[in-house]
């Protein structure tokens, strides 16, 4: 009994320490992502149909669903269920009765609503955002859209209105509803570069190289995709112009050895990549035109570079210089190398938009007979505190940050199938985006 009493305080001390550590981890994560604030209770009313055009009903259904999903996916709202919302469909500020929305059961703090019409092949949408608790001066946002009528445009307008709401209520961070995710898919028989909307819609192939292509990286202005492709002479960095719809020259991309894992600088002027042209894999940097290529490491087995998008002054990468692969950070000239992970097997770094965090895949219990698995982690660079975002649900790899810094896209292999998922940066609200074929190596667009 006495022994038990002596052990119990030590256990309590450990528990308190663990809790404090977890809270500390949440603090830096929430500060960096703005996910820790109390969620705003938001209602998205179905928009009021105006007119008799037969396109109104199907297009408005697409619009209403897309808008609600975009706001629900933002990570900063507590969405009012449609079943709890008033039955009214207000089409203007004069028609909405805010007290109906602020009262139970909706209990909304904010209400998005509007009018939806199709006139002479044009889709006309008026949208408002009102503060339900401020009856005297409720208007927070008003938007108007007039575009060619189509299902794609109904989705696009919903994305734009959602992003406007998210920017206004989410601390000034732009929304991600109009962003894209580039990835690799084998569904046409060979691994090609594909693209989809951030929510998994509109999936289609970009390249038709007819060879194995990997590691797509979209340029900051969305005009070019750098990727690795297997050629007769080995792995090469190739460049696809979205403006021209074809491959364009990148001379240094196939200059001997294996050339892999391209990464754009935030100003779009340089590309970092790994190359074995000197006999072993090192990190190289070249101009976006493919000129002025030079190595910045010389230890061997250095791969998977990514830039600090806030400063363009640092590069994170993977190195086996001390044994198993670990995550390192260095200045862009190769100086001031710092090891970030302390054990296991760490790969596939991606740098957060705020420049203060990394996400990567890490098997912390790596080794023969070890019970570990590859999971996605988020690390605060200054303190090296980390948070495990996934928990051994398959093999998780190739994370990539969203431009708002609140979301991460990644690949998950379960059995023999690999698909693309997204989640909030704290690991919650995980959603599968792809289902056909095998899909991998996602890269979130910059904007």
Q: Are residues 325 and 225 in the same domain?
A: yes
Enter the DSSP assignment of 59: H
Q: Is residue 19 in a domain?
A: no
Q: Are residues 200 and 333 in the same domain?
A: yes
Q: Are residues 235 and 110 in the same domain?
A: no
Selection from 80, 173, 159 nearest residue 127 by Cα:
159
Q: Are residues 164 and 191 in the same domain?
A: no
Q: Are residues 284 and 369 in the same domain?
A: yes
Instruction: Tell me how crowded residue 223 is: count the other CB atoms within 10 A of its CB.
Output: 13
Q: What is the largest CA-CA distance in the chain?
A: 86
Q: Phi, psi at residue 97, to the nearest 5°?
A: -110, 95
Last residue of a domain, one of 147, 169, 191: 169
CA distance 69 to 74: 9
What is the domain range of residue 329? 180-444
Q: Are residues 259 and 346 in the same domain?
A: yes
Task: Render 348-388 in DSSP notation, one character per residue.
Answer: EEEE-TTSSEEEEEEETT-STT-----EEEEEETTT--EEE
Q: Are residues 316 and 438 in the same domain?
A: yes
β 357-363/375-380 pair status: antiparallel
Q: Is residue 123 in a domain?
A: yes
Is residue 216 a contact partner of residue 191, using CB atoms and an 8 Å limit? no
Selection from 369, 370, 379 nearest residue 399 by Cα:
379
Whole-angstrom CA distances from 422 to 54, 76, 169, 430, 446 are 36, 16, 22, 6, 16
Where would I find the beta strands (DSSP E) of 105-233? 110-119, 122-131, 139-148, 180-185, 192-197, 204-205, 213-218, 224-231
Q: Are residues 207 and 331 in the same domain?
A: yes
Residue 18: per-residue pLDDT = 36
Last residue of a domain, one of 101, 135, 169: 169
Q: Which two tokens stand for residue 357?
A: 């965090």
Residue 370: per-residue pLDDT = 66
β 110-119/48-50 pair status: parallel
Enter the DSSP assignment of 434: -
CA distance 99 to 131: 11
Q: Is residue 7 in a domain?
A: no
Q: Are residues 77 and 221 in the same domain?
A: no
User: Residues of the chain whose pLDDT is less than 50?
Assistant: 1-23
Residue 20: per-residue pLDDT = 40
What domain count does the chain have?
Answer: 2
CA distance 190 to 323: 34
**Predicted model pTM:** 0.92
Q: Are residues 78 and 55 in the same domain?
A: yes
Whole-angstrom CA distances from 355 to 35, 37, 129, 329, 358 are 17, 21, 32, 12, 8
CA distance 262 to 103: 53
Q: Residue 116 sits in a domain of what CATH number? A: 3.40.50.10070
Q: Residue 293 sits in a domain of what CATH number? A: 2.120.10.30
Whole-angstrom CA distances from 352 to 286, 291, 408 are 22, 28, 9
Q: Are residues 128 and 208 in the same domain?
A: no
**DSSP H or E segment with residue 247:** strand 246-248
Local structure of 290: helix, strand or coil:
coil
Selection from 102, 158, 149 nearest residue 124 by Cα:
149
Q: Is residue 425 in a domain?
A: yes
pLDDT tens, 113-157? 999 999 999 999 999 999 999 989 999 999 999 999 999 999 999
Residue 30: per-residue pLDDT = 74
Dihedral angle over CA of 180, 146, 162, 196, nearest 10? -20
pLDDT tens, 172-225? 888 999 999 999 999 999 999 999 999 999 999 999 999 999 999 999 999 999
pLDDT tens, 42-68? 999 999 999 999 999 999 999 999 999
Is residue 185 a contact partner of residue 438, using CB atoms and an 8 Å limit? yes
Report the sign of the C-alpha dihedral through residues 394, 396, 402, 404, in that order. Answer: positive
Q: Are residues 66 and 155 in the same domain?
A: yes
Q: Is residue 149 in a domain?
A: yes
Last residue of a domain, one of 169, 204, 227: 169
Whole-angstrom CA distances from 311 to 171, 196, 383 are 21, 28, 19
CA neighbours within 13 Å on the CB side: how many for 265? 19
């Amino acid at each position: 009994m006495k022994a038990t009493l002596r052990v119990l305080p030590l256990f309590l001390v450990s528990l308190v320490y663990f809790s404090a550590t977890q809270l500390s981890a949440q603090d830096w994560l929430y500060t960096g992502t703005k996910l820790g604030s109390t969620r705003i209770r938001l209602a998205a009313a179905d928009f009021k149909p105006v007119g008799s055009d037969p396109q109104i009903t199907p297009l408005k259904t697409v619009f209403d669903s897309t808008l609600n999903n975009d706001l629900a996916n933002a990570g900063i709202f507590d969405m009012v269920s449609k079943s709890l919302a008033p039955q009214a469909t207000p089409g203007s500020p004069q028609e909405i009765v805010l007290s109906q929305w602020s009262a139970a059961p909706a209990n909304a703090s904010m209400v998005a609503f509007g009018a939806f019409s199709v006139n002479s092949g044009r889709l006309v949408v008026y949208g408002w955002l009102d503060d339900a608790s401020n009856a005297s001066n409720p208007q927070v946002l008003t938007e108007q859209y007039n575009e060619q009528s189509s299902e794609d445009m109904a989705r696009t307008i919903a994305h734009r209105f959602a992003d406007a709401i998210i920017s206004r209520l989410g601390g000034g961070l732009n929304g991600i509803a109009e962003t894209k995710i580039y990835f690799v898919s084998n569904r046409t028989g060979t691994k090609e570069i594909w693209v989809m909307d951030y929510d998994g819609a509109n999936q289609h192939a970009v390249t038709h190289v007819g060879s194995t292509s990997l590691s797509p990286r979209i340029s900051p202005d969305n005009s070019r995709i750098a990727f690795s492709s297997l050629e007769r002479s080995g792995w090469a960095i190739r460049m696809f112009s979205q403006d021209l719809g074809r491959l364009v020259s990148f001379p240094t991309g196939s200059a001997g050895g294996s050339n892999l894992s391209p990464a754009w600088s935030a100003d779009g002027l340089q590309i970092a990549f790994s190359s074995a042209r000197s006999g072993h894999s090192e990190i190289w940097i070249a101009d976006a035109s493919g000129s002025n290529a030079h190595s910045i490491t010389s230890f061997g087995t250095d791969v998977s570079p990514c830039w600090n998008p806030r400063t363009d002054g640092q590069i994170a990468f993977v190195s086996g210089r001390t044994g198993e692969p670990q995550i390192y950070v260095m200045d862009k000239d190769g100086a001031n190398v710092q090891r970030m992970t302390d054990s296991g097997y760490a790969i596939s770094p991606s740098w957060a938009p705020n420049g203060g965090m990394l996400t990567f895949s890490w098997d912390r219990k790596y080794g023969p007979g070890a019970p570990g698995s590859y999971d996605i982690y988020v690390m605060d660079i200054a303190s090296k505190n980390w948070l495990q975002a996934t928990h051994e649900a398959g093999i998780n790899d190739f994370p990539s940050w969203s431009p708002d810094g609140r979301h991460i896209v990644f690949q998950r292999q379960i059995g023999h199938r690999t698909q693309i998922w997204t989640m909030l940066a704290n690991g919650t609200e995980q959603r599968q985006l792809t289902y056909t074929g095998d899909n991998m190596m996602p890269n979130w667009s910059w904007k």
